[in-house]
Amino acid sequence: MFDLPSSLPSSAKYRVGLGDTGFSIRYKLSVEIDIHIASLEVLVASAPLQPRNEPCIVQPTSHAITSVAGRNQGSVTYAAKLQNSFIRKGENITVALACRNDAQVDIQRVEVKVVELVNWGSCDGYNKSRRYKETLIEMKDVDLPGLHKSKKSRSEMVDTTYRTVEAQRDTYAAICNDLACGQNTVDLVCPYNARDSYEGSLVDIRH
């Protein structure tokens, strides 16, 4: 009798994208006596995740907004926070959002997505050379205070692109405070068809 490592992913066969492209995770139990070898394929289920709390934050990030003609329209700063990044299938995902719009235009739409990234390679080399991305959940038209343009002059809007370190720090601090208050949140459910997160030498699955 022996114990399998708890880090092993579940047995699975994945078709990624169109056609027969994909990969499989299989386990075999082999017995060798002298020159005789017998093997049997066995199904393995990954160890269940133990409940624990691991918050995760997307730090405030500012992006310059330009028109089609390349004209400076100001900037938008946003951030997000996961109440817990250690999620099991079927569990709730709570995402806190915060935004400051210092541009001359309104932000038309905010989307929240759960995306699965799969990288895999082969025993012949080209490790993790194949990549596939799939959107598992997509929530459109999220209502987020701070999206509408500020009532400032154009010169003030443009100045925000070149704001001082102190002013930028104040904006980031205000956004982090919004996240801590958790007033603007979106709830999603981790789908049961999500693949197990895993990082190995040939297969890498992230969310």
8 A C-beta contact, residue 95 and residue 186? yes
Rounded-to-integer distance, Cα 31 and Cα 38, Å: 5
pLDDT grade, residue 129 (50/70/90)?
low
pLDDT grade, residue 151 (50/70/90)?
low
| 36 strand-pairing partners | 33
pLDDT grade, residue 45 (50/70/90)?
confident
Residue 191 has pLDDT above 70, yes or no: yes
Q: How many CA atoms lie within 13 A of 108 on its CB side?
A: 0
Residue 159 has pLDDT above 70, yes or no: no
* DSSP H stretches of helix in the chain: 154-159, 165-181
Instruction: Output 202 or 155, whichever has higher pLDDT.
Output: 202
Beta strands in the chain (DSSP E): 12-15, 22-25, 27-33, 36-42, 56-66, 72-82, 92-103, 112-122, 125-139, 185-189, 198-199, 203-206
